Amino acid sequence: GQNIDQPTEMTATEGAIVQINCTYQTSGFNGLFWYQQHAGEAPTFLSYNVLDGLEEKGRFSSFLSRSKGYSYLLLKELQMKDSASYLCAVSHAGAGSYQLTFGKGTKLSVIP
């Protein structure tokens, strides 16, 4: 089966940098996604890594190491509106199946 782990909760200060880690064990790995989800709303796409290395997009960066089964999402210059849950998701395929499995999410609280 697929297993994705990420911390349940984190707290960080406005203006600071925070790193949210995600580890996974999966077969048929096709890529790793990060989504942001505000309470009561739908998830929205943040980043996608399919090869090892760092992908940067404005204040958000995501890193992937396929050999270690590890990814992180880096949020810089934190703003109050960044308070949300951050979901790590792995795309995987095998025996004709093509699925997306999510971690349980990390609830980030940004404090003044």
Residues that bind another protein (CB under 8 A): 30-31, 33, 35, 41-45, 48, 50, 87, 89, 91-93, 96-105
Report, in Å, the least distance between residue 64 CB and another protein: 13
Q: Which residues touch 102 (CB under 8 Å, ≥6 apart)?
A: 4, 35, 87, 88, 89
Distances (CA, A) of 32 to 68, 73, 82, 108: 13, 11, 21, 20
d(CA 77, CA 18): 9
Identity of the residue, 26 or 61, whose beta carbon is nearer to another protein in the bound complex: 26
Report, in Å, the least distance between residue 108 CB and another protein: 15
Q: Are 26 and 3 in contact (CB under 8 A)?
A: yes
Report, in Å, the least distance between residue 13 CB and another protein: 26
Report, in Å, the least distance between residue 41 CB and another protein: 8
Identity of the residue, 64 or 78, whose beta carbon is nearer to another protein in the bound complex: 64
